Amino acid sequence: MTAIINQQIPEFTTEAFVDGDFKTISTKDVLGKWAVFMFYPHDFTFVCPTELEDMADHYEELKGLGVEVYAVSTDTHFVHKAWHDASPAIAKVKYPMLGDGTGAITRGFNVMIEGQHAALRGTFLVDPEGLIKVAEIHDLGIGRSVKDLVRKVKAAQYVRENDGEVCPAAWEAGQETLKPSLDLVGKI
């Protein structure tokens, strides 16, 4: 597996189910703002709806941070709509659900399970230039926490806005940061 941090997101154009409608979404729609890509194995499964509901519960907070969320599976936008209509958890989803029937986007982020035509649980935070700043990949049985993702978004945005500063472990907005220098070597 090659390092994906600071790599450009892959070029794509796909159909999505977005808040009750179908919409074409491409890489150009992503650029210029922060984005989260949340890959999951398949619609109509078990851990997936809990994760998408958790993201839905934090969506307004993420939007307030200037972040758009894109859920991605290898299902089509039609299947996303059917799942949205059938599941109370998925009915809460207002962010775009990208259809990736060909698997091109999933492969582009290197989270495809080829023998199953399904994605690993991959979460990627992308900056406004389209560079991946956070990559988190889980096995299928391990659900994610959006609460910690929000913390990572705030840290990535802080580092981008404050050249020369870095955020230590478990950093929360408002806490002290570090300014790497010779003076800090061996003192932390």
41 touches 121 (CB < 8 A): yes
Q: Counting beta carbons within 10 angstroms of the beta carbon of residue 184, is it exposed (0 to 12), middle (13 to 18) or buried (19 or more)?
A: exposed
Annotate 106-175 with DSSP letters as a single string: HHHTT-EEGGGTEE-EEEEEE-TTSBEEEEEEE-TT----HHHHHHHHHHHHHHHHSTT-B--TT--TTS
- Nearest one of 62, 46, 21 to 149, comparing CA atoms: 62
- Can you tell me the distance from the alpha carbon of 11 to that of 90, in angstroms, rounded to the nearest whole number? 27
- Can you tell me the distance from the alpha carbon of 151 to that of 140, in angstroms, rounded to the nearest whole number? 23
Q: Which of 30, 38, 48, 146 is catalytic?
A: 48
CA angle (63 as vertex; 123, 157 as ends), nearest 5: 65
Q: What six digits make up the tokens of 72?
A: 């991605």
48 flagged as catalytic: yes
- List the beta bridge partners of residue 13: 26
Active site residues: 48
